[in-house]
Amino acid sequence: MNGLFRLTLVLILTALTATGAYAEESGVKPDARPEFDLEHGTVLLNSGYTMPINGLGTYSLHGDECVNSVKAALECGVRLIDTASAYGNEQEVGQAIREAIAEGTVQREDVFVITKIYPGSEMANPEESIQACLDRLDLGYVDMMLLHHPDPNDVSAYHAMEQFVRDGKIHSLGLSNWYVEELTEFLSQVEIMPALVQNEIHPYYQENDVIPFIQNHDIVVQGWYPLGGRGHTTELLGDATINEIAQAHGVSAAQVILRWNLQKGVVVIPGSSNPDHIRENAQLYHFSLTDDEMARINALDRGEKHDWY
Ligand SMILES: NC(=O)c1ccc[n+]([C@@H]2O[C@H](COP(=O)([O-])OP(=O)(O)OC[C@H]3O[C@@H](n4cnc5c(N)ncnc54)[C@H](OP(=O)(O)O)[C@@H]3O)[C@@H](O)[C@H]2O)c1
C-alpha cells in the first residue's frame, strides 16, 4: 500500500473519530473482526498498515543475546518484533535491525517494530518518553507504539502519541493490558482508533470474553505469554491434549498453540533466544487445526493468569 493511500486512510479514520461517528458505533460493529491473511501471514490494520501476524517477543532478551535473537528471527523470515521501553533493550533491537539492513537481510519497510511507553514518569512526560524510544531504536520511525498499561495520565499520553502519528514518526497506535471496562472508557476520549490491543492469552488463560469485544471494534488482538510465559512453559508445552494434536500434525506443541492463536485471530509474539525455537515458531502456515482440535484446545481454558496485569 503506498504512502499516500495510508495517509488518506489515517486522515479519514481520524476525521471519523473526531466527528464522533466511529465512537458512536463503538461496541456495535458485528463481524468487524480484522481478517488474517493466513497465506501471507499478515493482517490489514485499521490504520491502513499491514502487520505480520507472527513475530518475536523480546522481553527478557538483552545485550548480544537480544541482538542475535532478533537477527536470527529476521533471517528466518520473522518480520514483527515486539519491544518496550521497560524491557531496556530498544537499543539492541534497533542495532539488530540496522545490522540486518546493512547485511541485506531486510529493508527497513519490511520490518514491523512495536514498542511501548510505561506508566508513571514516562506517561507523565509523554513527548520526551516517545522521543526517547525513537532515539533508542534509531530506525527513523516506529511502526506501532502502545501504552504499556493503564495509568492516570494514559489519555494525555495517547494524545501525545497521536501527534507523533500526525508528524509521521509513528505509524499506528495501540494499547496493552486494556480490558472491556478500560477500553469502553478510553475509546471515546481519543481521536485515532487504536489498531491493536496486546493482552495475556494462552490456552490456560483465553480471554474469550475480551477478544471478541476488541475485535468487534476492528482492533487487532495480540497475545503476550503465548507459551505461558518464561518459567511457566513446562506444563503448557507438556499438556496431553496439545501434544496429541501436535503428533497428529507432525509439529511441536509450541506450533499447535501458536497456530490455535492465529485461527482465533490473535497475533503471536513468542519470546525466544534459541534460534531453533525461533525458526520453529515461525513455521505456522503449512498445517491447520480442525474445528474439533480448536474446540479441544478451547476447552483447556482455566482462567489461569500467569502475571498480575
Ligand atoms: N504487554 C505486556 O505487558 C507483556 C507482558 C509480557 C510479555 N510481553 C511480550 O510477549 C512476549 C512473549 O512473552 P514471553 O517471551 O515472556 O513468554 P512466552 O513467549 O510465552 O514464552 C517464552 C519461553 O518459551 C520458550 N520457548 C519459545 N519457543 C519455544 C519452543 N518452540 N519450544 C519450547 N520452548 C520455547 C522460551 O525459551 P527459549 O528462549 O529457550 O526458546 C522462553 O522460556 C514477550 O517477549 C514480550 O514481547 C508483553
Q: Quick check: is 273 in a domain?
A: yes
Q: Quick check: is 31 in a domain?
A: no
Q: Quick check: is 182 in a domain?
A: yes
Q: Total domain count for the chain? A: 1
Note the pLDDT of residue 32.
58
Which cell is 138 given?
534509531
Residue 226 CA to ligand 1 center (angstroms) comes to 7
Pocket test for ligand 1, best of 65, 90, 272 (most atoms within 8 A of CB): 272
Pocket test for ligand 1, best of 60, 70, 89, 225 (most atoms within 8 A of CB): 225
Q: Quick check: is 227 in a domain?
A: yes
Q: Nearest C-alpha to atom 7 of ligand 1 is from which residue?
A: 224
87 is catalytic: yes
The ligand 1 atom at the shortest distance from the C-alpha of residue 273 is 39
- Structural domain of residue 163, as residue ranges? 48-298
| 300-to-252, 260, 290, 294, 296 alpha-carbon distances in Å | 18, 12, 16, 10, 7
Q: Is the pLDDT of residue 22 over 60?
A: no
* 256/161 Cα distance (integer angstroms): 36
Q: Is the pLDDT of residue 21 over 80?
A: no
Give the model confidence (pLDDT) of 58-87 as tens digits. Answer: 999 999 999 999 999 999 999 999 999 999
**Identified catalytic residue from 22, 49, 59, 87:** 87
Q: Quick check: is 308 in a domain?
A: no
The ligand 1 atom at the shortest distance from the C-alpha of residue 225 is 20
What percentage of the chain has pLDDT greater than the value 90?
87
* 125/130 Cα distance (integer angstroms): 9
Q: Quick check: is 239 in a domain?
A: yes
Per the prediction, the chain carries an average pLDDT of 92
Q: Nearest C-alpha to atom 5 of ligand 1 is from which residue?
A: 224
Note the pLDDT of residue 274.
98
Average pLDDT of the residues in 85-93: 98
Residue 170 CA to ligand 1 center (angstroms) comes to 25
H-state helical runs in 19-141: 21-25, 63-75, 90-102, 121-124, 126-137
Residue 228 CA to ligand 1 center (angstroms) comes to 7
Instruction: Give the residues surrounding ligand 1 with Cβ less than 6 Å away.
Output: 57-59, 82, 176-177, 198, 224-230, 233, 237, 252, 254, 269-274, 277, 280-281, 309
Q: Quick check: is 8 in a domain?
A: no
Q: Quick check: is 252 in a domain?
A: yes
CATH of the domain at 174: 3.20.20.100
Count of alpha carbons within 13 angstroms of residue 241, beta-carbon side: 16
